[in-house]
Amino acid sequence: MVTILFDLDGTLIDSTKAILSSFHDTFKSLNFKNVEDEKILSLIGHPLDFMFLHMGVEEKRVEEFVSTYKSFYRQRSKAMTKWLPNAFEAIKEAHKFAKLGVVTTKTGRYSKELLEHMKALKYFEVVIGREDVIHPKPHPEPIIKALNFINSLKDKSWMIGDTCLDIVSANRAGIKSIAVKSGYADLKELRNCSTHIKECAFEAVKFIEKNI
């Protein structure tokens, strides 16, 4: 059976407002200079510790910033997150012919809570988050762990994501991938890392369905 792994932010969901407001409130709470939205958005897809380091936070304070961010994000994520266009339809369509999983650099626990709130967790056999691996994307570990959990064959597995982190991780794990234009990477960047590029997750799912 085919397996399809999805990234979350920019691939299935739009939690931009929750992310940006949580970062800004974290900076304000910890008396750190504010960072422009464009800089934050350019780093989405990376783990939080990586993001804060690349915003100028000292390494010794990163854990404090991550913890503060998570407390803000968890409070507002459900209310401030919505499906990307046709994303829920993509999940339901994929579920007809494939085993499904989520591979994200978000906290897995919160991702499961969010998907449950959005009435979609039941479609996924596994959710791999940041705390579930040592090495996040673009390392292959998260994808390999997801595939092993649901006993999937690499030659029948696909990754759908909106950044090159997703695509490179898939390549390194030895599975096929599709980039979508619904998220945070620009088209030029996606063309440098991906062979298949679709408008959204639903189009990516339909492409897989036609090519199995």
Return the CATH number at 53. 1.10.150.240
Predicted confidence band of residue 185 (pLDDT cuts 50, 70, 90): very high
- The domain boundary residue, chosen from 76, 93, 115: 76
What pLDDT, in 10s, does the model give residues 74-122?
999 999 999 999 999 999 999 999 999 999 999 999 999 999 999 999 9
> Which residue among 7, 9, 14, 166 is the active-site one?
7
Look up the domain containing 150 and give its range.
2-14+81-210
In terms of domains, do 29 and 110 share one?
no
Q: How far apart are CA 59 and CA 49, in angstroms?
A: 9
In terms of domains, do 68 and 91 share one?
no
In terms of domains, do 144 and 202 share one?
yes
Q: How far apart are CA 93 and CA 152, in angstroms?
A: 19
- The domain boundary residue, chosen from 76, 97, 125: 76
| 7 belongs to the catalytic site | yes
- The domain boundary residue, chosen from 51, 76, 101: 76
In terms of domains, do 91 and 172 share one?
yes
In terms of domains, do 36 and 125 share one?
no
- Residue 212's pLDDT is 86
71 Cβ contact partners less than 8 Å away, ≥ 6 residues apart: none
Mean pLDDT computed over 144-157 = 97
In terms of domains, do 178 and 140 share one?
yes
What pLDDT, in 10s, does the model give residues 11-47?
999 999 999 999 999 999 999 999 999 999 999 999 9
In terms of domains, do 85 and 10 share one?
yes
In terms of domains, do 144 and 127 share one?
yes
Edge-to-edge strands of the sheet including 98-103?
126-128, 98-103, 2-6, 157-161, 176-180, 197-198
In terms of domains, do 112 and 66 share one?
no
Domain total of the chain = 2
In terms of domains, do 40 and 124 share one?
no
Question: Helix H segments across 30-174?
Answer: 37-43, 48-53, 62-76, 87-95, 108-117, 141-149, 164-173
In terms of domains, do 195 and 113 share one?
yes
At 191, which CATH number? Answer: 3.40.50.1000
